[in-house]
């Protein structure tokens, strides 16, 4: 069963461009001979390293996306280890990562569906509407001031009287 891997390796900065292409072709041929396929090759160019590796401060970055059986990836890693031009490499299994990302996406989608459903709002009492059946004479009568407004003024008078 072929699995998807990303292989990134860093090549010494003193390697010529033609030798770099030959090195990439060699690893691609190893993948094909191991029963896999090379999905993409990306030469990322010369970049500065985060720290000194084998007395080098920069190197050529190369990214290979491959689909290969597990036994084939062991052979590729062995060849990366013994190749003198390669100063650092990492292999990441991407099918597990893709499966994890699909699971996270499905979880987010389910949360979005739940939040998209209308939430039942609590029923709030509304003020009684004025009906047109109210006689005109009743509507023109003066309205008395609420009791709360009168009681709010009373303490203010008490305070001023005490001063």
Is residue 102 left, alpha or beta, with left meaning phi > 0 and alpha meaning psi from -120 to 50?
alpha
Query: Is residue 51 a part of any domain in this protein?
Result: yes
Query: Is residue 112 a part of any domain in this protein?
Result: no
Query: Is residue 148 a part of any domain in this protein?
Result: no
Domains: count for the chain: 1
Tell me, what's the pLDDT at 139?
Answer: 53
User: For residues 44 and 63, what is the distance between their CA atoms, to the nearest angstrom?
Assistant: 7
Is residue 103 left, alpha or beta, with left meaning phi > 0 and alpha meaning psi from -120 to 50?
alpha
Query: Is residue 139 a part of any domain in this protein?
Result: no
CB 65 within 8 A of CB 39: yes
Query: Is residue 85 a part of any domain in this protein?
Result: yes
pTM of the model: 0.62
Query: Is residue 57 a part of any domain in this protein?
Result: yes
Tell me, what's the pLDDT at 100?
Answer: 86
What is the span of the domain harbouring residue 25?
A: 3-97
CATH of the domain at 56: 3.30.70.60
Query: Is residue 60 a part of any domain in this protein?
Result: yes
Q: pLDDT tens, position by position, for the chain (163 residues)? A: 889 999 999 999 999 999 999 999 999 999 999 999 999 999 999 999 999 999 999 999 999 999 999 899 999 999 999 999 999 999 999 988 788 888 999 999 888 877 776 656 666 767 666 666 655 555 555 556 555 555 545 555 545 555 5
């Amino acid at each position: 069963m072929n699995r998807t891997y990303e292989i990134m390796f860093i090549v010494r900065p003193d390697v010529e461009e033609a030798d770099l292409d030959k090195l990439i072709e060699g690893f691609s041929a190893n993948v094909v001979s191991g029963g896999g396929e090379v999905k993409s090759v990306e030469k990322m160019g010369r970049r500065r390293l985060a720290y000194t590796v084998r007395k080098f401060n920069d190197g050529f970055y190369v990214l290979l996306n491959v689909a290969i059986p597990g036994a084939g990836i062991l052979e590729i890693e062995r060849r990366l280890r013994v190749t003198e031009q390669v100063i650092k490499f990492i292999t990441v299994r991407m099918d597990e990562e893709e499966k994890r990302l699909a699971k996270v996406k499905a979880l987010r989608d389910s949360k979005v569906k739940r939040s998209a459903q209308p939430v039942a709002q609590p029923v709030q009492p509304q003020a009684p509407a004025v009906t047109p059946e109210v006689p005109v004479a009743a509507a023109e009568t003066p309205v008395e001031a609420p009791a709360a407004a009168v009681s709010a003024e009373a303490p203010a008078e008490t305070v001023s009287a005490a001063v």
